[in-house]
Amino acid sequence: MRRPNAEQRPGGAAADPAEALERENSALKGRLATLTEEVTRNAALLRKSQERELELLRAGSLAQLFERLIAGLKSSYQLDGVTLVLNDPQHEIRHLISGDDIGHDPLAGVTFVDALRTIAPQLATLERPWLGPYRRADHELLLPRQAQAASLALIPLRRHDELDGVLVFVSHDPQRFTRELASDFLAHLGLVAAICVENAVNRARLLRSGLTDFLTGFHNRRYLHARLREELARTARARLPIVCLMIDVDHFKRINDQYGHLAGDAVLREVAQRIDAEMRISDTGARFGGDEFAMVLSQADLTDGEKVATRVLTAVRRQPVTIGTGIPPASETVTLSIGVAAANPGPGPHDYKALAERLIAEADAALYRAKSAGRNRVATSPNVVL
């Protein structure tokens, strides 16, 4: 007796094997097409991620890196927003980037915080990328200007077991970032971004630590001493005078106490820029320390120094300095006390280190006479260092 076929037609007749095979083949083709599309999409995403990571690694400065992290990733991944939040408790990164010369605001989309864990609850335990819906109660501090955000990807920037920052991808589509999505490539991107930030910060430190004041972009005290010795030696050979100005910001402690140290930093940067605008190419400016600056004027006598000091004083006090970001922002008229001293060493052997120290001491003594006389003025030294 013949055994019944496993596949029967509705009327009881056996199914056509060719028809069943065709259906199975069609299903496999559909599955293959889906897998091929997924592989193509993943390959394109991987290629795009690799290209973007190379762009990040090639960034030459903090400002350029921030631009590529914010604008570059937003464009590359067709996002509605990208935000970078960095842990910067000592305000060092803010100071480092302030000296970058760039034609637009490199900080748009970048937020600096003193403690990351106070910004969003997820950041307390963020080891891998977090994908999910935007919740105002949890993310408002993280994204204060993203009212239309629907879903987020929070990508940790971790180095040496520390959370140094978080990169936030924002979408208006609630299905763009969900917890079911794989996040391996985002984790890799976060690692690359963390390495890039660390490298850019270290590079900026190296560029500035040796001879530059990282807050103002001016030369530092070490550079000033070296340059002053060189100028004194050249002055002695050419039998030309040289002038040193010591400059102090009046009542700077009050500005710090009233508005905070960030406002004080902003004042020092603005004062440095206004001093720089009054300098010749051959002159040297430096942040001597704290709220004190110095200038070295080559081929200048005491009268020239007094004229330059008066120009600097006028340039700084003419226009109030904007302080803070309030509405309206506060402003302060900043004044200076300036001491001027000259040197005119003759030919012959000299101890130029000692000569530089004496010239600075003379200018410093004149500075304190200006402060004792009521500040907001220029005083000159009666002594010429020989």
* Sequence ranges of the domains in the chain: 39-207, 221-385
Percent of the chain with pLDDT over 90: 45
pTM (whole model) above 0.85: no
pLDDT average, residue stretch 40-64: 78
Contacting residues for 234 by C-beta, under 8 A, at least 6 apart: 298
Q: Which residue from 363, 365, 375, 214 is spatially nearest to 287, judged by alpha carbons?
A: 214
Q: What are phi and psi of 377, to 5 degrees?
A: -160, 170
39-207: CATH homologous superfamily? GAF domain (3.30.450.40)
Q: Which of 50-54, 218-222, 354-358 has the highest mean pLDDT?
A: 354-358
pLDDT over 50 (residue 101): no
- Is 260 or 24 the better-scoring residue by pLDDT? 260
In CATH terms, the fold of domain 221-385 is Alpha-Beta Plaits (3.30.70)
pLDDT at site 102: 44
pLDDT over 60 (residue 212): yes
Token couple for 182: 């794989």
Q: How far is residue 267's CA from residue 154's CA, in Å, rounded to a whole number?
A: 35
Q: How confident is the model at residue 378 (pLDDT cuts 50, 70, 90)?
A: very high
Burial 282-318 (b: 16+ CB within 10 A, else e): ebbbbbbeebbbbbbbbbbebeebbebbeebbebbbe
pLDDT over 80 (residue 11): no
pLDDT at site 14: 55
pLDDT at site 282: 81
pLDDT over 70 (residue 6): no
Q: How far is residue 385's CA from residue 360's CA, in Å, rounded to a whole number?
A: 10
pLDDT average, residue stretch 139-157: 87
- Is 192 or 6 the better-scoring residue by pLDDT? 192
